[in-house]
Amino acid sequence: MLSRLWYYVRETFVSLWRNLSLTVAAILTVAISLSLVGASLLIREGADRATAQFQEGVEFIVFMRADASADQDGAIRDVLDNSPAILGYTYVDKAAAYTEFQELFSDKPELVESVTAEVMPPSYRIVPANPDSGNVAEIARQFGEQPGVKEVATATDAIRQIEDFSNRVSQALLVAAVVLVGVSALLILNTVFTAIGARRQEIEVMKLVGATNWFIRIPFMLEGTIHGLIGAALAVPALFVVDDQVLAYFQESDAVPLFRGFAVPEGFVWDTSIWLLAIGGVVGMIGSAVAVTRYMDV
Amino acid sequence: MIRLESVSKVYKGDVVALKNASAEIQRGEFVFLVGPSGSGKSTFIRLLNREEVADEGRLTVAGKDVGEMSSWRVPYLRRQIGYIFQDYKLLPKKTVYENVAFGLEVIGRPRQVIRTQVPAILELVGLSRKADRLPDELSGGEQQRVSIARAFVNRPLILLADEPTGNLDPATSVGIMRLLDRINRSGTTVVMATHDRSIVDTMRRRVIELDRGVIRRDESQGVYE
Ligand SMILES: Nc1ncnc2c1ncn2[C@@H]1O[C@H](COP(=O)(O)OP(=O)(O)O)[C@@H](O)[C@H]1O
Ligand SMILES: [Mg+2]
């Protein structure tokens, strides 16, 4: 068993080395395409976090005072339920607000620890019938004058711009990434095909003496999988650079005054990295499996 | 050990390579397949190894129906069959030792087995002192001995040989035949396709003669013609 493992490892690396130029090309393509996939995911996540409270048509939020009375709360709810100007709303109670706060500031534990669910303001996230900004501002002003209301926040144009921008950028990156992932799979297929060609004699002898098909295939499939994994591993540092530089740039710009300071937590970057490794490995395995079944009739 | 019942093989383009062939070969026999070029000798041998599949008839090897065998079993069939060729099929970048060890390594034999079996078989074929040479540093006869060592190192039940002396001079051929004879006497069934009249006439073993895919003659202690 151990000697078989050693055999696979040795054969795989000999083959990688022999095929160096194609191997490097395949690995770099995987690295670039997965960096784009990762960047796309990070930008989307960053924008989602920055605009978390204003999604799905929510145009403004009525924050109640933490100590608002049940009557005051009921009056607001009454208006929301009955006004034709309001299409819908969701109520975020203290506990939910606290949970959300914890998530948004998971990078800043001291901030999370400084508050409790009790001091979080419950809020109504409101979808107006008419999202026109003049109309929204007028309704928001009326809510702001009600007793028990602490503050009304409206979705600013800046937030909409951020959303729009992030959607476009992350979609464009994703399209490019998907194309490149396809290209990487083809390159891996080609590299493995070349490796198979370089060892045609050995494969012939192996079949002759009764090596099983899997025994013959495994080193080639490992080779493709390793291309994918190394490429993905190279994409991981790129991901951290995107996180540091690009997202930091957004945070510091004036575009999102309300939510400056929201970052993608490191945990998300690591999760994304694991995804990239998985995608890399799978792409490599699929590319080499196709090469092995198509070009090596074993 | 080997049994053909009305076996036929037709290649693409209606080339009839074997037609209605029946024969039975017992364990431990030595059989020459003779006949002119294109008469179907190689096809006969390739069917035994399941490199080709018969179109009609039934072929059993070591009690197994080779035609019906599912493809994942084929490697295990081949582990019981050694196979040597006119052109040796050695791996040029591996030494003599490595070429022979390769045959065991790729069927998952443990390293201790390889370490004991390979030197033993090299001793048998008389190449112990050339274990570290590369194939192109050897004579044709020596290369054929390496290929015999690789085919026999796993102690197969059957040894198939397709014109093993085709590229060798007569004196060298005699040496190879001595080796095959010795292997046969150890109990291994040998099936050898050949053109070499003098070898067949000297050995006086069973001869199956093929003519355009038909078995024309099958006699024990036969001659070439
Ligand atoms: N793979 C193949 N495809 C098509 N025809 C083949 C193939 N192999 C052999 N033949 C034909 O089958 C016949 C028998 O060939 P073969 O078994 O190689 O004979 P021998 O070994 O006696 O020379 C010949 O006519 C040959 O041309
Ligand atoms: Mg032939």
Confidence of residue A252 (pLDDT cuts 50, 70, 90): low
**Range with the lowest mean pLDDT among A2-6, A192-196, B80-84, B179-183?**
A2-6
Residue type, A267: G
Cβ neighbours for B148, distance < 8 A, ≥ 6 positions apart: B82, B84, B125, B164, B176, B179, B180, B183
Work out which ligand 1 atom sits closest to the CA atom of B162. 21
Give the separation between CA B73 and CA A236, rounded to whole angstroms.
44
Identify which of A201, A202, A210 has the shortest CB distance to residue B107.
Answer: A210
Predicted confidence (pLDDT) per residue in B85-94, tens digit: 999 999 999 9
Confidence of residue A259 (pLDDT cuts 50, 70, 90): very low
Which tops the pLDDT comparison, A226 or B225? A226
Give the separation between CA B220 and CA B203, rounded to whole angstroms.
11
Instruction: Give strand pairing partners of B31.
Output: B191, B206
**Which stretches within B57-216 are classed as H helix?**
74-78, 96-105, 111-124, 140-152, 170-185, 197-203
Query: Which chain A residues touch B151 with a CB distance below 8 Å?
Result: 209
pLDDT value for A17: 82
Closest residue by Cα to residue B162 from B140, B175, B147: B147
Predicted confidence (pLDDT) per residue in A141-196, tens digit: 777 777 777 777 777 666 667 777 778 888 888 888 889 889 989 989 988 888 88
pLDDT value for A27: 92
- Is A210's CB within 8 Å of B77's CB? yes
pLDDT value for A195: 87
* B103 close to ligand 1 (CB < 6 Angstrom): no
Q: Is A7 on the interface with B (CB under 8 A)?
A: yes
- Is A4's CB within 8 Å of B108's CB? yes
Exposed/middle/buried for residue B166 (C-beta within 10 Å: 0-12, 13-18, 19+): middle
Q: Which of residues 34-53 of B touch A (CB under 8 A)?
A: 49
- Test mutation, B106, B114, B121, chain A, max A CBs within 10 A: B106
Sheet holding A60-64, edge to edge: A86-92, A123-128, A60-64, A149-154
Work out the average pLDDT over B35-56. Answer: 95
Token representation of residue A136? 């929204």
Confidence of residue B118 (pLDDT cuts 50, 70, 90): very high
Closest residue by Cα to residue B110 from A4, A20, A231, A270: A4
Confidence of residue A55 (pLDDT cuts 50, 70, 90): low
Predicted confidence (pLDDT) per residue in B152-162, tens digit: 999 999 999 99
Q: Whose CA is nearest to atom 2 of ligand 1?
A: B11
Residues B89/A208, Cβ–Cβ less than 8 Å: yes
Q: Which ligand is nearest to the CA of B18?
A: 1
Work out the average pLDDT over A126-150. Answer: 73
Token representation of residue B189? 């069934």
pLDDT value for B145: 97
Residues A224/A290, Cβ–Cβ less than 8 Å: no
Share of chain B above pLDDT 90, in %: 95
Query: Which chain A residues touch B72 with a CB distance below 8 Å?
Result: 212-213
Token representation of residue A197? 């060609």
- Is A201's CB within 8 Å of B91's CB? yes
Confidence of residue B134 (pLDDT cuts 50, 70, 90): very high
Q: Whose CA is nearest to atom 5 of ligand 1?
A: B11
Average pLDDT, chain B: 95
* B45 close to ligand 1 (CB < 6 Angstrom): no
Residue type, B139: S
Rounded to a whole number of angstroms, the distance from the CA of A206 to the nearest CA of chain B is 6
Confidence of residue A111 (pLDDT cuts 50, 70, 90): confident
pLDDT value for A258: 43
pLDDT value for A261: 43
Given phi > 0 = left and psi -120 to 50 = alpha, else beta, which region is B68? Answer: alpha
Predicted confidence (pLDDT) per residue in A15-25, tens digit: 778 788 888 99
pLDDT value for A247: 66
pLDDT value for A243: 79
Which tops the pLDDT comparison, B19 or A49? B19
Q: Report which DSSP code applies to A122.
A: P
Work out which ligand 1 atom sits closest to the CA atom of B36. 22
pLDDT at A257 over 60: no
Q: Is A10 on the interface with B (CB under 8 A)?
A: no
Q: Whose CA is nearest to atom 27 of ligand 1?
A: B38
Exposed/middle/buried for residue B93 (C-beta within 10 Å: 0-12, 13-18, 19+): exposed
Work out which ligand 1 atom sits closest to the CA atom of B42. 21
